[in-house]
Structure 1
Amino acid sequence: MSARTWLTVEEFCAELNIARSTFNDWRAKGRAPIVRKLPNGKLRLERADIKSWYDSLAEAA
């Protein structure tokens, strides 16, 4: 089974085992992965963007 390409914020938080408030804090500080807003106002994260974001954390360490 292949992984889904797009995740909801809730799915992203569950995968990283973080609270939604932590994600909101990261986003407010510009430290979260790229988030896309759908026409209905819901947010989605693309796995490719999550991987790039995660890889950038390793480079910064």
Structure 2
Amino acid sequence: MTPPHRAPSTGQLLTLAEVLAELDVPKSTFFRWKATGKAPRTIKYPNGSLRIRRRDLDAWLAAHEEECAA
């Protein structure tokens, strides 16, 4: 029997706590962003907990980079 296929590291699922720590924002800010459609994409489990794919967070961060001032 072959082991189950593991997703590449870009498919890693992060907990909400991990994302909040990385972004250095409180939960209230993240949920405000989520309510206004400004947060990274989330996955909601049946128990209500949220996960964020590493690749989605990285793409979201890249989309919010500011250009360097010359």
Q: What is the RMSD computed on CA atoms of the aligned residues? A: 2.1
Which structure has the larger Rg over C-alpha atoms?
A: 2
TM-score (norm 2): 0.72
Q: How many percent identity over aligned positions?
A: 43
- The answer as to 2:12 corresponding to 1:5 is yes
Which residue pairs with 2:36 in the alignment? 29
Q: Which has the higher helix share?
A: 1
Deviation (angstroms), 1:39: 2.4
Runs of at least 5 residues in structure 1 that lack an aligned partner in the other structure = none
Runs (4 or more) in structure 1 with deviation over 4 Å come to none
- Aligned residue runs from structure 1 range 11-50, under 5 A: 11-50=18-57
